[in-house]
Structure 1
Amino acid sequence: MTSIRRKDYFNMTNAILVVLFVVFLVETFMGGSENTTVLYKMGAMYNPLVAIKHQFWRLFTAQFLHIGILHIASNAIIILYLGRMMEPFMGSWRFLALYLLSGIGGNLMSFAFGSDLALSAGASTALFGLLGALTTLLFTSDRRLATGYAGRQALSLAVLNIVIDLFISEIDIWGHVGGFITGFCLMSLITTQYHGLYRRTFKILSAIGIVVYVIVTLRLGMRINF
């Protein structure tokens, strides 16, 4: 019983949340999470630095930074909810890979289509990747079952949030869209729920989609439009 409790407690979802809050504390001690200088130094997304200075590491680091306590609190709650649902059936390392790569994928879309004057950060790119991954359940499960319902809920939540994003200029909508697309394609690659030719075809299309996505977003992102 003790080992089971330890496994439940020390999971990857909790580890991700610990890292996010530790990074937030570092931001705070360095001058504040809303201080642009601090965000620049710690690796927030700023397209000109990625394109001109080739600081591609920002595509990875930006997902660990947050701007204000409400920003990290809202993301943490949803990550905790989705993580506790997804990690048990995916496995910890697959869940971590999905989370991190979705964050990068979201920042790639922001790099390609986002404002070149904006500074962006946050785990919502990875969070939308989790929603995209759950949406694949619509294609792998009977929609009348609980898994199919989870897929519908994930898609509805993602669409609702993206619609809301349209009316809030401070939100990086492209990062959210990119995270969702990346999560959907990645989950299509790693899932074992497809069958026969359909499974092989879907995986091939997903792999091609990811490669094309990375190439196109990088090429578009290298153009700076002030």
Structure 2
Amino acid sequence: MRKIQQRPWATYVILIIQLVVFGWEIFKGGSQNIAALLASGAKVNSLVAQGEWWRLVTPIFVHIGWQHILINSLTLYFMGQQLEFLYGPLKFSIIYLLSGIGGNLMSFAFGSQNSISAGASTSLFGLFGLYVALGIIFKNNQVIRQWSQQFLILIVFNLVADIFIGDIDIWGHVGGALVGFLVGWIITIPQMKNALPKLWRIISTVGLIVLAIVLYRIGVVRA
């Protein structure tokens, strides 16, 4: 029974969902077909501004091309197992979804109005940002601090690469990393519930809410 409980079920479910969605894209005309991507829930800022707010959530599970879904799925598989073990399936799922939504909100606020964007990378950058937060929270833990430093370097490296690679939604990556970092201060690890001062959790929660509202308003005004 213990082995069953320790399986990363949330990670598996997320992987299955995005594979099913990818199959739906192919059925609708292909994972690089604009009509299929739109029908599957890809994000277009102008459509979000028109009231299709669910496109801030659904793009997390939509991917453009085989390479896109393969890289993101492998990254989720390996990172998800470790983080889900620490947080449990429910908290991990919340972190993953909030990071993805946050990245899509940042893209909505500052990205191109009519370009199509999709992918789990907003959520994955959130997991990167989460590791950075953990390195600060548990600064006396050498292993966690080393993880944090490595993921900070990974974030910087990827953002620099985004600048020089076309067709990359850099704002989505920035937003995902930022929200993941903030969520790291809010959602505690079950075995370490008293590791964070309550004040820091309150400040981070308020900051996250304000950030979401501001980003959404900017996106609507720009539309």
Fold shared, TM-score > 0.5 on shorter chain: yes
Match of 1:73 among 52, 70, 73: 70
**8 Å CA contact 1:60, 1:103 repeated in 2:** yes
Superposition deviation, residue 4 in structure 1: 3.7
**8 Å CA contact 1:20, 1:64 repeated in 2:** yes
**Aligned partner of residue 171 in structure 1, secondary structure:** coil
**Amino acid of the residue matched to residue 131 of structure 2?**
L
Match of 2:31 among 30, 33, 36: 33
Q: Deviations over 1:163-199 (max 9, x none)?
A: 1101112000000000111111112101255868x71
Q: Distance in 1 between matches of 2:4 and 2:176?
A: 31
Match of 1:183 among 180, 193, 202: 180
**Aligned partner of residue 66 in structure 1, secondary structure:** coil
Query: Which residue number corresponds to residue 153 of structure 1?
Result: 150
Query: Which residue number corresponds to residue 108 of structure 1?
Result: 105
| TM-score normalised over the length of structure 1 | 0.92
After superposition, the CA RMSD in angstroms is: 1.8
Match of 1:130 among 121, 127, 132: 127
**8 Å CA contact 2:109, 2:222 repeated in 1:** no
Superposition deviation, residue 27 in structure 1: 0.6
Superposition deviation, residue 144 in structure 1: 5.8
- Structure 2: which 5+ residue stretches go unaligned? none
**8 Å CA contact 1:31, 1:38 repeated in 2:** yes
**Aligned partner of residue 122 in structure 1, secondary structure:** coil
Indicate whether 1:204 and 2:202 are aligned: yes
Query: Which residue number corresponds to residue 91 of structure 1?
Result: 88
Superposition deviation, residue 134 in structure 1: 1.1
Q: Distance in 2 between matches of 1:15 and 1:94?
A: 14
Superposition deviation, residue 101 in structure 1: 1.1
Tell me: CA distance 1:195–1:96, structure 2 relative to 1, closer, same or farther (3 Å). closer
Q: Distance in 2 between matches of 1:151 and 1:140?
A: 10
Indicate whether 1:139 and 2:136 are aligned: yes
Q: Distance in 2 between matches of 1:152 and 1:186?
A: 18
Q: For structure 1, which segment, 210-219 or 63-72, has the greater mean C-alpha deviation from structure 2 after superposition?
A: 210-219
Query: Which residue number corresponds to residue 216 of structure 1?
Result: 214
Superposition deviation, residue 10 in structure 1: 5.7
Query: Which residue number corresponds to residue 18 of structure 1?
Result: 16
**Aligned partner of residue 32 in structure 2, secondary structure:** coil
Superposition deviation, residue 8 in structure 1: 4.2
| TM-score normalised over the length of structure 2 | 0.93
Match of 1:49 among 44, 47, 50: 47
**Amino acid of the residue matched to residue 151 of structure 1?**
S
Superposition deviation, residue 117 in structure 1: 2.2
The percent of aligned pairs where both chains have the same amino acid is 42
Superposition deviation, residue 143 in structure 1: 5.4
**Aligned partner of residue 57 in structure 1, secondary structure:** helix
Superposition deviation, residue 36 in structure 1: 0.3
Q: Distance in 2 between matches of 1:14 and 1:150?
A: 23
**8 Å CA contact 2:21, 2:40 repeated in 1:** no
Match of 1:166 among 163, 166, 172: 163
Q: Deviations over 1:19-51 (max 9, x none)?
A: 111110111111100000111112111011111
